[in-house]
Structure 1
Amino acid sequence: MRTQVGIIGAGPSGLLLSHLLHLAGIDSIVLETRSRDYVESRVRAGLLEQGSVETLTEAGVADRLHREGLVHHGIELRFDGVGHRIPLTDLTGKVVTIYGQQEVVKDLIAARIAAGARRDHAPILFDVEDVAVHDVTGSPRITFRHEGREQVVECDVIGGCDGFHGICRPAIPDLAIYERVYPFAWLGILSHSRPVSEELIYARHADGFALATMRSNTVSRLYLQCAPDEDLSLWPDARIWEELHRRLGCGDELEEGKIFQKGVTPMRSFVCETMRHGRLFLAGDAAHIVPPTGAKGMNLAIADIRVLARGLERFYARGETDLLDRYAEICLRRIWKGQRFSWWMTSMLHRFDGDDPFEHRVQVAELDYVSTSRAAMTTLAENYVGLPFEV
Structure 2
Amino acid sequence: MTAGIPRTSDGARGATRSIGLLTSVGSTLDAFFPEIVEHWTRAGVRVSTAAGDRSRRFAEQRVIDGMTRAPRIANVRAPRALRAWVLRDRLDVVITSTATASALSRIVALPVPVVYFCHGLHWNGSRLRDAPFRAAERVLLHRSAGVICINDADEEWFADRAPHVPRVRLPGGVGLDVARYAREPREAWRPGEPLRLVWCGEFTARKQPEAAVALVEALLARGVPVELDMLGEGARWAPLRDRVGSALPVRFPGYVDPRPHFARAHALVQTSRWEGLPRVALEAVAMGIPTAGFDVKGVRDVPGTRTAPEGDIEALADAVLDAARTRGEDLPDPALLSYTRAADEILAFVDRVAPLPASAAPPASAAPPTSAARPAPAAPPASAAPTVPARAEGS
Q: TM-score range by the shorter chain?
A: under 0.3
TM-score by structure 1 length?
0.25
Select the structure that is richer in helix: 1
Q: TM-score of the superposition, structure 2-length normalised?
A: 0.25
Structure with the larger strand share: 1
Which structure would you say has the larger RCO, counting Cα contacts within 8 Å and 6 or more residues apart? 2
